[in-house]
Amino acid sequence: MAWEYVSVKKTGRIAVVSFDRGDNVNAMSRQLIIELTEAARSFDDDVETSAIILTGVGANFTLGADLKDPASAEARTAGLGTRRKMLQVGPKLCRAWEELEPMTIVAIEGWCVGGGAALTVACDLRVMGAGGHVYVPEIERGMNMSWGSVPRITNLVGPAKAKRIVVMAEKIGAERALQWGLADEVVGDGETFDKAMEMAERIAALPPVGVRMCKQDVTMAATALNHAVSHMDGDQFALAQSSEDFAEGVQSFLEKRPPRYTGC
């Protein structure tokens, strides 16, 4: 299958999924989200692959949502039923990657923002470059963090640190991400893919069926309650999109000024 922004390459038991918007920003447009979802689903009938590396091409993994994407503007002005359906693309993306049977390893260079963070915590392992940062700015834009990511982040770092990431919107550098459990390895900038490949080769050398079964055991044990505590976050996001604070959050970002929130 040919995509505009996403490519898949397989060598033996290792696959590499890379995405590139061609601008070192890799903003997550609706089209990119759909392509990344389709890329994950392309492994549904694959019984050979043991490890999948996910990487964003360029200086940054992704700087988050594409606020200028016409499809995003359409979702904001659509009727509630249509908007709810359109807003399901993000959760479907993260579910598709979380449900993959092979081990998934994300190579994160530069910034990993918003929806990018949601995607990476749906995967199994994260390798960050030393100069990298994870940043969840949704609350600063008048939104809630959705895509089922809040329980996944909490699983990794615990409730207090999850609140610092999601509520306080702290920018988490690579070393702190490693200390907190948000990253699994930190390497020099530009070396994340090589480290991810080293880990993938280790996984690929193990019994392939055992890899899949053991991964599933750990995932189910860690995420059993995740859907129960996040099934409403899409509707919360739709509600937040109708607020004056959301409009102010987006406008202030585009105008590069501090937002003025009123709670309306």
pLDDT in tens, 87-116: 889 999 999 999 999 999 999 999 999 999
DSSP H or E run through 29: none
CB 214, CB 129: distance < 8 Å: no
Q: pTM score > 0.85 for this model?
A: yes
Answer whether residue 212 is part of any domain.
no
CATH number at residue 127: 3.90.226.10
Answer whether residue 163 is part of any domain.
yes
SS3 state at 135: strand
- As for how many domains the chain has, the answer is 1
The token pair that represents 111 in the structure block:
């910034």
In whole angstroms, give the CA distance from residue 71 to residue 68. Answer: 9
pLDDT of residue 217: 96
Answer whether residue 263 is part of any domain.
no
Give tens-digit pLDDT for 124-141. 999 999 999 999 999 888
From the list 211, 221, 171, the residue with the least C-alpha distance to 47 is: 211
In whole angstroms, give the CA distance from residue 199 to residue 53. Answer: 9
Answer whether residue 209 is part of any domain.
no
Per-residue pLDDT of the chain (264 residues; tens, 9 = 90+): 689 999 999 999 999 999 999 999 999 999 999 999 999 999 999 999 999 999 999 999 999 988 777 877 676 677 778 878 888 899 999 999 999 999 999 999 999 999 999 999 999 999 999 999 999 999 888 888 889 899 999 999 999 999 999 999 999 999 999 999 999 999 999 999 999 999 999 999 999 999 999 999 999 999 988 888 878 777 787 778 788 988 888 888 888 899 899 998
CB 124, CB 199: distance < 8 Å: no
- Strand pairing of 111-113 and 125-129? unpaired
CB 129, CB 110: distance < 8 Å: yes
In whole angstroms, give the CA distance from residue 173 to residue 151. Answer: 21
SS3 state at 217: helix
